Amino acid sequence: CGGASRASWARGRSVELDYLRLVLILSGTVLLGSVAWLAARGRVQRFILLGTLVGLTFYSGIGAAAPGVAPAFTAYFFFLFAAIIVGFHLGRPLFLPVSERMGRRLGPSLGSMEPARLWYGVIGLYIVVSALPLLWPEWRLHELLAPPRPDLRYVFDLRFSGEPDTLTRLIANLQVVATPFFYLALYRLRHRLAWVAGVFVVLLYVSYVAAASISRGEVLRHLGFVILAAWFLRPRHRPGITAATLASLPLLVMVAYWYGRVRIGGAVEAITAGEALTALLSTEWGFPRDVGMPLIESGAGVDLGRYLLWIVTLPIPKLITGPIAGARINYEISEIVLGLPAGSAGWYVVLPGLVAESVYLFGPWLFWLHGLFIGLLAAFFARLAEQVPQFLFLFLYVAVMFAFVLNRGGIAGLLPPLVNGFLLFYVFLLLMVMIHHRQERSGAHQAPVARPSGG
């Protein structure tokens, strides 16, 4: 589900913007972006910070220039933009010890594991785990040879058809906690990017067959990951990568439009690439207009107690405790904007963008706190990865999550994968650091002591 409005998929809808305001927004963004460039150090830090800010500009900044969006929204945008930079700058020295320990202790340990075929097994096991929904709760493995027609309504009905059984939830949790190990293992294929692309094609196909649908965002996220991996690992081929990406955009836009129509039960229409692009941009830039402003003007706000409860209890396995009554931000916002209870006829998940979400969470005076938190979180992951070469693919996954998933789906799309999904991985890192530290100490104790010569 998702999208600012189903009506925004209508053919021929124009992208209306106040171009004078747009120029001012983009000029201010470039100015503040220059500050962000200076606030970060090195390729890893700049990539995750600037990626987050580019995503914020695309999904909330450009749409702030749409007719009907109040000038106050532009002020919210710039303050949030600056708060993310400040939070990142504060987080750099705060998490410096993380960077130093990872580089000194984890890098050598992972380097010694580099030749092991274990990593190929991790990739294969992740694919197998992804296919388990085709085995339980019913046997559907044959659908890999006869895939179902895309049906978003089936996904929507399934989400509200009741709680899944214990084994189904266990399978879902297993895939989540295996994700960081999968991206770590992909580093073994860094010299075979065609294989990396093939792995993602298999994963996307299995995911589509299992759910009878797959979001355009998920496809875009994986495609962007492969392109970025090629960009990082093949510096000499960057002009060709850029040219190929630009040349394929018209086809990608057309396919995205057609798939979006079929997915919601519509018919494929004859349409030009320009019309398809207009429809897509109207959706992606329309968050402030269609959802953000109605949400802000409603004056509604989250129950901070329930929101903090949601954050604090994220690491707790719900398979053990059962559901915990924390805030479900995207569902609450959708109920406010649509005026319908979750799961009712005509209800779907709307996306407000990060600016409106910040105002909803902390109000019109303290919304910038959300930006500080995001900046600190981005700084932590930059420090975690910057001195460990084996974290390249894992870092790109996290960077895409910040740039795309956070700015499109909000904090509820970012935190669960990075907290729940990384929980077992954090334990793995801690054990690796402790083992290497113990080896260092034992080596220091056993090292021969140099004695002065008798001369």
| Enclosing H/E stretch for 163 | none
Distance in angstroms (rounded) separating the CA atoms of residues 273 and 264: 20
- Contact by Cβ (8 Å): 62, 24: no
Positive or negative: CA dihedral 387, 390, 396, 399: negative
| C-alpha separations of 369 from 345, 365, 437 in Å | 35, 9, 37
- Contact by Cβ (8 Å): 429, 98: no
pLDDT of residue 349: 86
- Contact by Cβ (8 Å): 396, 413: no
Kindly state the greatest CA–CA separation across the chain: 94
Burial string for 114-134 (b: 16+ CB within 10 Å, else e) reads eeeeebeebbeebeebbbbbb
Place of tokens 């990017």: 193
**Side chain identity, residue 332:** E
pLDDT of residue 355: 97
- Contact by Cβ (8 Å): 430, 446: no
pLDDT of residue 453: 40
What string of DSSP letters covers 234-260?
A: -GGGHHHHHHHHHHHHHHHHHHHHHHH
- Contact by Cβ (8 Å): 49, 337: no
User: Alpha helices, DSSP H only, in 299-410?
Assistant: 304-312, 318-321, 329-338, 354-366, 368-385, 392-400, 407-409
Mean pLDDT in runs of 10 for the chain (455 residues)? 40 70 96 93 94 96 93 96 97 93 76 70 91 84 80 58 69 87 92 93 90 81 92 91 87 75 60 74 88 94 89 74 70 91 82 95 96 97 92 94 94 91 89 74 56 40
pLDDT of residue 7: 37
Neighbours of 452 (CB within 10 A): 5
pLDDT of residue 367: 96
Distance in angstroms (rounded) separating the CA atoms of residues 192 and 186: 10
| Enclosing H/E stretch for 86 | helix 71-94
- Tell me the two tokens of residue 240: 């060709």
- Contact by Cβ (8 Å): 9, 275: no
User: Alpha helices, DSSP H only, in 264-317?
Assistant: 273-284, 287, 293-298, 304-312
Distance in angstroms (rounded) separating the CA atoms of residues 362 and 346: 29
pLDDT of residue 170: 81
The dihedrals phi and psi of 324, each to the nearest 5 degrees, come to -110, 135
- Contact by Cβ (8 Å): 83, 371: yes
How far from chain centre, in Å, is Cα 156?
21
Distance in angstroms (rounded) separating the CA atoms of residues 261 and 350: 17
Torsion of CA 359, 365, 371, 374, to 10 degrees: -70
